[in-house]
């Protein structure tokens, strides 16, 4: 076996051929039904280890364990104690990150070249939340009530949290749920996506190794319509933190009404990326392209509506098309791969449907446009980086979230026009602006209705900076100092000291 073949056949020790179990109350257990479901490598179609098929009965056990932990030993952990255990977990994750990301690469197709970027975000998020854990505090407040009455606030954990995460970044999305739960003193039942559950399960092993008490972190694998729905509606869950589609988010809102759960919803997007004629085109071409093509377009904030000032539209789209054609598509474990597979056959069919719709509506594919099935790609779920030109705002590919490596390039003439068109969407998650004019950049940053505006860059992220959406892209914030607020209640205390 040559070195290249060896790289493509790499397997972490966690993939040992044995069925993966649920984590409930600090123990690894089979699902109550005894059933499992399959996991598959999207680069090759190869079957991986089966995973326990959790359902409502398992959710009930996990929620009960989380409640006991919240009211028991975990409640006696001081802020410094929580900080120590989070920092130990961060160290373990850093030491084992090669394995964690290898699981993501094999299980959902993340190109191995993304590992340094994701590692930084994951490890830094835990360390950032560890620092925040010892800074949670109320405040003494003045009041105008007659007499000598003291008023102050306490910040308290909301309780049992259901964390429901998508498949497009398993270890990263799990981190955004686990870290703030640990920092605030909540407990968690985590439901990974059925398409990519392996790295969250390995993360669960590291949580136990770090000394996190039994029941604080529980992991239920299974299907969204069963385990996810049971968690969303469970009357002993105090909060749901969900990342995923708008449609599922709407169902969670409805399911949460039974006990008026707290919600954090980070949902879909159809983000505009605006390129002005005065931009540095050498930076804007790869920047705008990878704003969509990174992770094969399976990113909620992907800048998939590319608005280009008309005077440079032809030149710019030709350069983006050439860049797209230069990107190597292939097995996610290959260090040369820039574009890996889509996560599943179902996602491949979904994206292929949009490619067909674009062609039928009159858009012109300058790059890509159809599934790749040649040679080593035959058994995987590969779509090349695709650029559609001659797109108008009413086309399906310009209105709906595709979640694939597909750019819709649209010309514009002036600022007022492009702002109106950029905001003409039900979504409001991310956006981009490419210009050398600082005044123009600030103006656009204030006018675009989106939770993030990236200027002369795209998808820059850091644990200290909040991330969230407007409109149908959800509400609540992840990352930044406000991240922990989503997991805390504020209690007002009044004491008559006369």
| 26 contacts: CB under 8 Å, gap ≥ 6 | 65, 208, 213, 214, 215
φ, ψ of residue 27 to 5 degrees: the values are: -125, 145
Query: Catalytic residue at 315?
Result: no
State the catalytic residue, choosing from 129, 186, 207, 300: 300
Can you tell me whether residue 162 is helix, strand or coil? strand
Place of tokens 């835990």: 126
The closest alpha carbon to 398, from 266, 271, 247, 248, belongs to 271
How distant, in Å, are the alpha carbons of 59, 65, 339, 493 from that of 80?
Answer: 31, 24, 43, 24
Cβ neighbour number for residue 208 with a 10 Å cutoff? 17
Kindly state the DSSP code that residue 353 receives in the 8-state scheme: H
State the catalytic residue, choosing from 214, 266, 478, 486: 266
How far is residue 187's CA from residue 74's CA, in Å, rounded to a whole number? 8
Query: Catalytic residue at 457?
Result: no
The closest alpha carbon to 231, from 163, 159, 158, belongs to 163
Checking 133-139 for CB contacts under 8 A at 24+ apart, the result is 133/79, 133/82, 133/83, 133/86, 133/182, 133/183, 133/184, 134/79, 134/80, 134/83, 136/79, 136/183, 136/184, 136/484, 136/488, 138/490, 138/491
Both tokens assigned to 33: 């039904």
Distance of CA 387 to the CA centre of its chain: 24
The closest alpha carbon to 488, from 107, 132, 96, belongs to 132
- Residues annotated catalytic, as ranges: 266, 300
């Amino acid at each position: 076996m040559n070195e290249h073949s060896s790289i493509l056949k790499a397997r972490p020790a966690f993939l040992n051929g044995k069925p993966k179990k649920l984590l409930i109350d600090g123990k690894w257990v089979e699902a109550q039904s005894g059933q499992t479901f399959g996991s598959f490598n999207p680069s090759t179609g190869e079957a991986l280890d089966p995973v326990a098929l959790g359902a409502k009965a398992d959710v009930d056990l996990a929620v009960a364990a989380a409640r006991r932990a919240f009211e028991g030993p975990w409640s006696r952990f001081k802020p410094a104690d929580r900080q120590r255990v989070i920092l130990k977990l961060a160290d373990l994750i850093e030491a084992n990150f090669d394995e964690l990301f290898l699981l993501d690469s094999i299980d959902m197709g993340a190109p191995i070249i993304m590992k340094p970027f994701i590692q930084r975000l994951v490890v830094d998020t835990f360390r950032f939340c560890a620092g925040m854990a010892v800074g949670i505090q109320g405040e003494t407040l003045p009041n105008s009530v007659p007499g000598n009455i003291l008023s102050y606030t306490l910040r308290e954990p909301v309780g049992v949290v259901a964390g429901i995460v998508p498949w497009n970044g398993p270890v990263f999305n799990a981190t955004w749920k686990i870290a703030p739960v640990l920092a605030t003193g909540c407990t968690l039942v985590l439901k990974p996506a059925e398409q990519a559950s392996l790295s969250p399960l390995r993360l669960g092993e590291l949580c136990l190794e770090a000394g996190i008490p039994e029941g604080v972190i529980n992991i239920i694998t299974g299907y969204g319509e069963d385990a996810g729905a049971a968690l969303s509606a469970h009357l002993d869950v105090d909060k749901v933190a969900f990342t995923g589609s708008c449609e599922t988010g709407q169902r969670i809102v409805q399911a949460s009404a039974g006990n008026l759960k707290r919600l954090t919803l980070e949902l879909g997007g159809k983000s505009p990326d605006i390129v002005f004629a005065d931009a540095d085109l050498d930076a804007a071409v790869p920047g705008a392209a990878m704003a969509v093509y990174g992770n094969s377009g399976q990113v909620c904030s992907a800048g998939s509506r590319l608005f280009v000032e008309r005077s440079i539209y032809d030149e710019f789209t030709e350069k983006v098309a050439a860049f797209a054609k230069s990107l190597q598509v292939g097995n996610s474990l290959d260090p040369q791969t820039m574009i890996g597979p889509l996560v599943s056959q179902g996602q491949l069919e979904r994206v292929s449907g949009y490619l067909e719709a674009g062609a039928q509506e009159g858009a012109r594919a300058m790059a890509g446009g159809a599934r790749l099935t040649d040679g080593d790609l035959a058994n995987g779920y590969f779509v090349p980086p695709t650029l559609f030109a001659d797109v108008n705002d009413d086309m399906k590919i310009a209105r709906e979230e595709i979640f694939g490596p597909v750019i819709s390039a649209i010309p514009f003439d002036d600022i007022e026009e492009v702002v109106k068109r950029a905001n003409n969407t039900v979504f409001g998650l991310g956006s981009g602006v490419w210009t050398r004019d600082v005044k123009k950049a600030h103006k656009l940053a204030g006018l675009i209705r989106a939770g993030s505006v990236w200027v002369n860059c795209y998808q820059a992220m850091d644990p200290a900076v909040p991330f969230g959406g407007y409109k149908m892209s959800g509400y609540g914030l992840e990352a930044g100092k406000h991240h922990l607020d989503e997991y805390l209640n504020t209690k007002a205390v009044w004491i008559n000291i006369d």
